[in-house]
Amino acid sequence: MTTKPIVRYLDRTTAPHITTLVLIAGIAAMSLNVFLPSLPSMAAYFGVDYAVMQLSLSLYLGATALLQLFVGPISDRFGRRPVMLAAAAIFTFASLGTLIAPNYGVFLACRLIQAVIAAGFVLSRAAVRDMVPQDQAASMIGYVSMGMALVPMIAPMVGGALDEAFGWRASFFMLAVSGAALFWLIWADMGETAKTRATSFTAQFRQYPQLFASQRFWGYCLSAGFASGAFFAYLGGAPYVATTFYAMNAATLGFYFGAPALGYMAGNFISGRYSVRYGINRMIMAGALTSSLGMGLLTLLAMVDLAGPTAFFGLMIFVGIGNGLLTPSANAGMLSVRPELAGSAAGLGGSFMIAVGACLSALAGLLLGPTTGPMPLILLMLLSSLAAIACVFWVKRRERQVGAA
């Protein structure tokens, strides 16, 4: 028999309401991509190349990856509430800094500081695990994840419309207002959920060498990293492709940009229904094959000069479906390799996935140029998806070896 936590909305003496946790994760997700339709106009404003401007995404992802290694242990030591309050406050001031930045260097510094809001990805889930037993946590985390999937689909549309109406700064003004509102909501509603305090920051990090020695752990990490890397390469390169080769304005780009997120929601739904029946390795393989199929077809269309904007963005839905099928099972695989090290595996695996995404996002910006067309981005996404397939075969081969031993 399980008991529900006491929750009273806007009462900081009780556990946070589920909507508060959804908003914490959602605003963290919005910060990632709301401004992407404005990248070309921002590059023109600051007088830098698109590849340089695109660092505001790839370096942000790198900072997010690094942060995920530390935010869990810090919140174990000091509590979820104070860490999340600090993150929201810093994010708000950093967002204001992007609005008044006199040059690109100052803007990029403020943008990297904004990455602190990624604490919301970790702590929204950690709070759920604090609040309810394991058999109830999956359902609540599902609602939180739904917010994380919906926001990236809607945010570029909003950002594109704001850019068209008010210029690129409007998206960052919205982030600043959202950060301030989130700080108030956390203060008013998020009671402390961590009932115990860790005594050492090093305990979790001492466990990493055991994970490093596991081939299956690396196989799951790499399959998830390459699959999500295809999506992050899209985030880094699609705005340039849309504006340079398809002559899209920011509002139109924002409308098309959410196609992978739509597929991601569908893939998550399928994964939730069938992963138990078919097993995680089959679901990972299905996701990698789906993404590769979409990118393979888009490559063929590009080779015969038929990869127009509808085909380009429409087939990106396959990347979203593939990620939705693959990522939950790959994450489950990471945690199952060493069940006693699940916390360490979650932090290290999440950090690794985003780090791979940051590298591929930066590479997408470097490969594209005024005369390249969209083909470099398409091929990069195809190769990344094919690499995920190879990693699944690696995991299955290693499992056979372990079973035989």
Residue 38 is encoded by which pair of tokens? 């404005």
State which of 138, 173, 205 marks the end of a domain. Answer: 205
How crowded is residue 246: how many other Cβ atoms within 10 Å of its Cβ? 18
* pLDDT attached to residue 251: 82
- CA–CA separation, 326 and 333 (whole Å): 11
Tally of domains in the chain:
2
Nearest CA among 155, 377, 53 for reference residue 246: 377
Residue matched to tokens 């196989």: 219
Residue 392 is encoded by which pair of tokens? 């699944």
Residue 7 lies in a domain: no
Residue 235 is encoded by which pair of tokens? 């985030």
Residue 3 lies in a domain: no
Residue 8 lies in a domain: no
State which of 190, 205, 220 marks the end of a domain. Answer: 205
Is 90 in the same domain as 199? yes
Can you list the pairs that 67-72 forms with residues at least 24 positions away whose Cβ atoms lie under 8 Å?
A: 67/115, 67/116, 67/118, 67/119, 68/118, 68/121, 68/122, 68/347, 68/350, 68/351, 68/354, 69/347, 69/348, 69/351, 71/118, 71/119, 71/122, 71/123, 72/122, 72/126, 72/204, 72/343, 72/346, 72/347
State which of 149, 184, 205 marks the end of a domain. Answer: 205
Is 83 in the same domain as 215? no
Low-confidence ranges of the chain (pLDDT < 70): 1-7, 129, 132-150, 153, 196-201, 203-205, 207-208, 335, 339-344, 346-347, 402-405
Is 117 in the same domain as 246? no
- CA–CA separation, 389 and 13 (whole Å): 48
Check if the beta carbon of residue 23 is closer than 8 Å to that of residue 124. Answer: no
- CA–CA separation, 106 and 109 (whole Å): 5
Is 162 in the same domain as 248? no
* pLDDT attached to residue 178: 96
Which structural domain range is residue 97 located in? 14-205
Is 179 in the same domain as 81? yes
Check if the beta carbon of residue 27 is closer than 8 Å to that of residue 148. Answer: no
Residue 230 is encoded by which pair of tokens? 């295809």
- CA–CA separation, 237 and 363 (whole Å): 9
pTM to 2 decimal places: 0.76
Residue 4 lies in a domain: no
Q: Which CATH number does the domain housing residue 229 bear? A: 1.20.1250.20
In angstroms, the Cα distances linking 154 to 35, 48, 261 are 12, 28, 9
How crowded is residue 6: how many other Cβ atoms within 10 Å of its Cβ? 11
* pLDDT attached to residue 260: 87
- CA–CA separation, 402 and 390 (whole Å): 19
